[in-house]
Amino acid sequence: MGIFEAILLTIITAATPLALAALGELVVERSGVLNLGVEGMMIIGAATGFAVAVLSGSTLIGALAAIAAGMVMASVFAALALGLAANQVATGLALTILGIGLSGLIGNDFIGARRDPMAKIVVPYLSDLPVVGRVLFQQDPVVYLTVALAAGIWWFLARSRAGLTLRAVGESHVSAHALGLPVLRIRFLAVLFGGGCAGLAGAYLSLAYTPFWSPGMTAGRGWIALAIVVFASWKPLRALLGAYLFGGVTILQLHAQARGWGIPSQLMSSLPYLATIFVLVIISRARKGGTDAPAALGQPFVADR
């Protein structure tokens, strides 16, 4: 039971940054914008969050700085993709390259520095329950925030007027504009929200998952988050479930290496990415060429003058 509990705890920790980044990108894509710069925003958040936390001595301030850094990167994307109607795919890829380069510069003086991991919220008595106690009632605040965020985004998109407006923009920005909806403003706010989520996801990596900074520590998680959005059919609760699934695959390769199963470490390290490709192929075949993506996803919008 102790081993099972440890595996569940590590899966939750590994899945949390994936879920945060995927939920933010899901909102962005439901507005009709495709931002492939998630990896760049995550690694900027990881570097900025850790650097600010070390300098200020506060994990909370570091996390807030990471959110702000992710939003700044997202605003650069928005300025190009929304303001200048640049190609969203190329702009997102450029954002990732920029983020990787800037993160190395920001984190250069903090390589090798360490901090205590993010403090956990302990619920008295309930946290002492066997197996489920530590899993459900002894987690850090970001884990609970992620679950609440998934529920909140579901309610926002399905039940609120603002969420329905955002979905309308993602389905047909021309019709939304004809109805007088501020298409660019809605998309800009969605992109900022996605950037903030990606920045916090990166900060979770450097402040909780592995409380230190190392270049390239996101290790492709931003790309997995993009795949999770497709896996979830652009539905937030499915995205949360998908993040835990991919988190489990990530942890599987770590436990396999620790137990010496004799499988090459390079093959085990590629498991999360092989699983991503496998899932996308299965989804594509199941839909037989169809898609649940917003109809205007990736299409630039230029208001009539």
Q: Can you give the pLDDT of all 305 residues of the chain as single tens digits?
A: 577 788 888 899 999 999 999 999 999 999 999 999 999 999 999 999 999 999 999 999 999 999 999 999 999 999 999 999 999 999 999 999 999 999 999 999 998 888 888 888 888 888 888 878 888 888 999 999 999 999 999 999 999 999 999 999 999 999 999 999 999 999 999 999 999 999 999 999 999 998 889 998 998 899 999 989 988 889 999 999 999 988 888 777 766 666 666 667 667 667 777 777 887 777 777 666 556 789 999 999 987 64
pLDDT of residue 6: 80
CA separation for the pair 240, 109 (Å, rounded): 35
Who's near 149: CB < 8 A, 6+ residues apart? 20, 23, 197
Distances (CA, A) of 144 to 77, 147, 178, 288: 29, 5, 40, 37
- Angle between helix 183-204 and helix 2-30 axes, rounded to 10 deg: 160
pLDDT of residue 1: 54
CA separation for the pair 13, 177 (Å, rounded): 42
State pTM to two decimals: 0.92
Helix (H) or strand (E) holding 139: strand 138-139
pLDDT of residue 258: 65
Take residue 204 and report the two structure tokens written for it: 């979770």
pLDDT of residue 211: 87
pLDDT of residue 260: 65
Who's near 69: CB < 8 A, 6+ residues apart? 41, 44, 45, 48, 49, 199
CA separation for the pair 55, 74 (Å, rounded): 24
59, amino acid identity? T
pLDDT of residue 261: 65
Distances (CA, A) of 8 to 47, 117, 121, 233: 27, 18, 17, 25
Take residue 303 and report the two structure tokens written for it: 């208001």
pLDDT of residue 126: 82
Helix (H) or strand (E) holding 88: helix 88-107
pLDDT of residue 40: 96
Task: Sort 104 into a burial class: Cβ within 10 Å, 0-12 / 13-18 / 19+.
Answer: middle
Domains and CATH numbers, the chain: 2-287 (1.10.3470)
By the 8 A CB rule, do 197 and 21 touch?
Answer: yes
By the 8 A CB rule, do 207 and 53 touch?
Answer: yes
Take residue 78 and report the two structure tokens written for it: 């928005």
Who's near 132: CB < 8 A, 6+ residues apart? none
